[in-house]
Amino acid sequence: MEDGPVNLREFQELAKRNLPKMYYDYFSGGAEDQFTLRENVEAFQRIMLRPRILVDVSKIDMSTTLLGYNMSSPILVAPTGSQQLAHPQGELATARAAAACNAIMVLSFASNYSLEDVASTCNAVRFYQLYVCSGFLNKLFGPLFDTFCLRFHCFITCSFEQFLQVFKRRDVSATLLQRAERNGYKAIVVTVDTPRLGRREADEKNKMIIPRNSNLEGLISVDADLTGGSKLEAYASETLDPSLSWKDIEWLKSITKLPIILKGIITAEDARKAVDAGVSGIVVSNHGGRQLDYTPPTISVLEEVVKAVSGAVPVLLDGGVRRGTDVFKALALGAKAVMIGRPVVYGLAANGEHGVRSVIKMLQNELELTMALAGCPTLRDITRNHVMINHERPR
Ligand code: FNR
């Protein structure tokens, strides 16, 4: 791609040209005023770098590990749903590109290709992202429960109804976990910032279609009327479980041997609870500004979370990472690694698998150059003293 994009922003422009407006708005948009969406990017621009000179940077080593798995750089692919809207090869193309860059891909719960298809497209370390579901195993129990719950609703006591709800939810989530384990996924990333879907006004205006979720086919029955307009919210409320709470994390841990990472933590209080709950990692994330608007940009709360966790588990960050310097800043503030969401989708829309590979490589190359110019030959050399927030005095 010699005449291709020279930075991630140009990939976004290419994606905008290539995609129908409805799909571009879906990928690029955020919740309500989109304050958090903008701030995620802009907050990085308020952090300055403090390079050190006369350090031998003839060799730069960006390699690292996460949960014991090697990665060529501290950059992962964040879970983003419905990638076939960006390119017919969707998640398959992303998986191949991530594997070629030795970057871990987190496959979205809401993928268009099934987790089995993605697992068989190439050999690489992959994680699976889970939303805990409120649906139930349609094939086996669906008709029975439908009849029972609807026709005899008035006879069901509250506690028995609650029991059924829990049972339903656990069925689908447990099935997905087993499938992820069977297909070689190495960790489960449980997204915890989405008890309900954030309000994305562009999707409402565009009457956004409901993309297909291959992983749920045959598992969940959706009763909402999904015709004639954006029904993403209605669809989400049929599939997501708003009653999800800390005790469910215990339950998830009890039914899988895979490490569990919580995605969507932005306070020290919740970070401490997550460590107490025995999770294996935390992703500081506000869902790329798509959920609760006016949450702080992730880079501004990273240090708070890192301090609260005090090294007990790795802390990752996503939201607004668009430059190698952004990755460097996140590492300086204590992140073990970062994840990128939209840039990957833009790469996919721009040029399929090749586009995603270019996006990841571009960010890796930018990080490598940043490390050289900042006097940090290895990731371990990047410290808090290499960054300065606003007019903060040097430490
Ligand atoms: C997402 N994100 C997301 N997160 C998740 O846990 N499950 C999902 O299915 C999705 N789907 C999704 C779709 C689209 C189009 C976007 C843009 C985002 C959130 C994603 O994992 C990540 O948190 C953000 O994308 C990170 O912000 P940036 O890199 O997009 O700024």
pLDDT single digits (tens) 172-199? 999 999 999 999 999 999 999 999 999 9
Q: Is the CB of 340 under 6 A from ligand 1?
A: yes
Name the residue with tokens 């279609």. 209
Short-list 108, 244, 121, CA closest to 176: 108
In single-letter form, the type of residue at position 288 comes to G
**DSSP notation for 205-226:** HHT------GGGTTT----S--
Residue 234 pLDDT: 76
Residue 175 pLDDT: 94
344: number of Cβ within 10 Å: 28
Angle at 334 between CA 333 and CA 338, to 5 degrees: 95
Task: Write the CATH number for 276.
Answer: 3.20.20.70
Short-list 219, 222, 194, 216, CA closest to 131: 194
Question: Is 311 within the bounds of a domain?
Answer: yes
Domain encompassing residue 40: 8-147+155-392
Binding residues: 26, 79-81, 108, 129, 131, 191, 200, 263, 285, 287, 290, 318-322, 341-342
- Tell me the best of 206, 290, 317 to mutate to test the pocket of ligand 1, counting ligand atoms within 8 Å of each CB and taking the most: 290
Strand 387-389 and strand 47-49: pairing? antiparallel
Residues marked as catalytic: 287
CA distance 376 to 389: 19
Checking ipTM against 0.90, whether it exceeds it is: yes
Strand partners, 105: 77, 126
- CA–centroid distance, residue 387 to ligand 1 (Å): 27
Binding residues for glyoxylate: 26, 131, 200, 263, 287, 290
Q: Is the CB of 341 under 6 A from ligand 1?
A: yes
Q: What is the pLDDT of residues 312-335, one digit of tens each?
A: 999 999 999 999 999 999 999 999
User: By alpha-carbon position, which residue is closest to atom 9 of ligand 1?
Assistant: 81
Question: Is 1 within the bounds of a domain?
Answer: no
Question: Is 277 within the bounds of a domain?
Answer: yes
Question: Is 325 within the bounds of a domain?
Answer: yes
Could you read off the pLDDT tens digit of each residue along the chain, which spans 395 residues? 457 999 999 999 999 999 999 999 999 999 999 999 999 999 999 999 999 999 999 999 999 999 999 999 999 999 999 999 999 999 999 999 999 999 999 999 999 999 999 999 999 999 999 999 875 554 444 444 444 433 333 334 445 555 555 555 678 999 999 999 999 999 999 999 999 999 999 999 999 988 888 888 888 766 666 666 677 877 787 788 899 999 999 999 999 999 999 999 999 999 999 999 999 999 999 999 999 999 999 999 999 999 999 999 999 999 999 999 999 999 999 999 999 999 999 999 999 999 999 999 999 999 999 999 999 999 999 999 999 998 676 66
- Tell me the best of 23, 35, 38, 80 to mutate to test the pocket of ligand 1, counting ligand atoms within 8 Å of each CB and taking the most: 80
Q: How many domains does the chain have?
A: 1
- CA–centroid distance, residue 277 to ligand 1 (Å): 24
Name the residue with tokens 């900042």. 374
Binding residues for FMN: 79-81, 108, 129, 191, 285, 318-322, 341-342
- CA–centroid distance, residue 174 to ligand 1 (Å): 23
Question: Is 3 within the bounds of a domain?
Answer: no
- CA–centroid distance, residue 28 to ligand 1 (Å): 10
**Backbone dihedral angles phi then psi of residue 261, each to the nearest 5 degrees:** -115, 135
Question: Is 118 within the bounds of a domain?
Answer: yes
Name the residue with tokens 């995605």. 263
pTM (2 d.p.) = 0.91
